[in-house]
Structure formats: structure tokens, C-alpha cells
Structure 1
Amino acid sequence: MARSRARVEVIGLDRLERRMAEVLAALKEAAQAEVENSAEVVVGDVRRNVRVDSGNLRSSAKATFQKDGLQAEIGWRDQDDLYAVFHEQGTRRIPANPTLVPALERAGQQLVSRLRDEVRRRL
């Protein structure tokens, strides 16, 4: 019995690969933009709600970014800000005034919908 051979050629595969690379780049840019936006929202929330004495904790709250802008860390980084933990967690003499976790929780509730909207806008 003779075997027949068939040849299949996918036309436009190179164009599809280029388009997929463009889409992935757009998705990454959208995620980076929303991580930055959400970090700014959290920093603003922390600055509005942190206990104020000298104003140092309010003015020095900031975001730093890692993993190519896809991860943000928000808080206080300076040596002079080590006392922030006492205000966040409280001591025998200072009642707790948590600002970081509540700010993250509030921003996190909206992050997914804003990220979805940003991805749709860019695509």
C-alpha cells in the first residue's frame, strides 16, 4: 500500500509571532503602569493617615520598584524613620496606628479592575 504525503504550510505565522510579541509588550507596559499608579495611591493614602508629630513620616513615605517595575514596596527606608514601626504596631505608651496594611488593602481591592481596564485600553 502506497503512503501519500501531505504538506501543510501556515501562512502568516511570522506575522502572528510578531503580533504576539507586541501584545506581550503592551501587557507588560500596562501592568507596569498600573503597579506604579497603585503605588502612588498607597503612598498618598499612607501620607494622609500616618500619625503626624514632626511630619517626617508623612513626607518620607515612598515607593521603590523591583522586578522590572512589576513589584512595588511602599514604606519608610531612611534610618531616621525606624520609629515608624512603633506607630504602626504601637507600644505600651503609643497606641497602634496602622497605616501601611490598611492602605494596601484599600488599593488592592481596586487594583484588579484598574489593571483590567488598563490592559483593555492599551490593546
Structure 2
Amino acid sequence: MARSRARVEIVGLDRLERRAAQILEVLKEAAQAEVENAASAMVADVRRNVRVDSGNLRTSVAPDFQKERLQTEVGWRDLEDLYAVFHERGTRRIPANPTLVPALERAGQEFVNRLRDEVRRALQ
């Protein structure tokens, strides 16, 4: 019995690959923008809620972007800001005033919602 073969050719595959690459770039840019927005929201939240004596903790909180701006850390980085941990966690004499984790919780859900909306827009 003779075998027969069929050939399948996908027309427009190169166009599909180009479009997929474009979509990935748009999604990456949207994710970077939303990470920056979330970081800005967290910094503003911390500045509103941090305990103020000299004002140093309020002015020195900042984001640190990493991994092509797809990841950020918000907090204090200078050694002179080391006392921030005492205000965050508290001591025997200073009651805890956590600001970083609550700011993350508030900004986190908004980040997820905005990123989902951006992905949907990019895929339309």
C-alpha cells in the first residue's frame, strides 16, 4: 500500500511572529509603566503615613528599580536612615508605626488591576 503525504503551509506565519514580538514589547512597556506607577503610589503613601520628627524619613523614602524596571524596592537605603526600622517595628519605648507593608498592600491591588487593563488594551 502506498503512503500519501499531505503538506500544510501556514500563510502569514511571519506576520504573526512579528505581531507577537510587537505585543510582547508593548506588554513589557506597560508593565514597566505600571511598576513605576505602583512605586510612586507607595512612596506617596509612605510619605503621608510615616512618623515625622525631623522629616528625614518622609523625604528620603525612594524606589529602587531593578531588572529592566520590572521590579522595584521602596524604602530607605542610607545608613543614616537605619532608625526607620525602629519606627516600622517599634521598640519598648516607640510604638510600631508600620508604613511600608500597608503601602504595598494598598498599591498592590491597584497595580494588578491597572496591569490587567493595560494587557487587555495591548491585546485588542
**TM-score category of the 2 structures, normalised to the smaller one:** over 0.9
Match of 2:25 in 1: 25
Deviation at 1:109, TM superposition (A): 2.0
Q: More deviation in 109-118 or 56-65?
A: 109-118
Written as runs of structure 1 = structure 2, the 5 A alignment for 1:1-40 is: 1-40=1-40
Q: CA offsets per residue over residues 62-87 of structure 1, 9 Å max, x none?
A: 00111111111000001110000000
Instruction: Give the TM-score normalised by the residue count of structure 2.
Output: 0.94
Match of 2:54 in 1: 54
CA distance in 2, matches of 1:40, 1:121: 22
CA distance in 2, matches of 1:9, 1:56: 65
CA distance in 1, matches of 2:90, 2:60: 19
CA distance in 2, matches of 1:100, 1:59: 14
CA distance in 2, matches of 1:21, 1:43: 33
Aligned residues: 123
Match of 2:44 in 1: 44
CA distance in 1, matches of 2:10, 2:114: 37
Amino-acid identity (%) = 77
- Residue type of the partner of 2:110? Q
- Residue type of the partner of 2:33? A
CA distance in 1, matches of 2:14, 2:116: 28
Instruction: Give the TM-score normalised by the residue count of structure 1.
Output: 0.95
2:77 match: secondary structure: coil
Match of 1:100 in 2: 100
Do the aligned residues in 1 keep the contact of 2:23 with 2:122 (CA within 8 Å)? no
CA distance in 2, matches of 1:49, 1:38: 16
> Over aligned residues, Cα RMSD in angstroms?
1.0
- Residue type of the partner of 1:72? T
CA distance in 2, matches of 1:34, 1:58: 23
Gaps of 5+ in 1: none
1:116 paired with 2:106, answer no
Match of 2:73 in 1: 73
Runs of 4+ in 1 over 4 A off after TM superposition: none
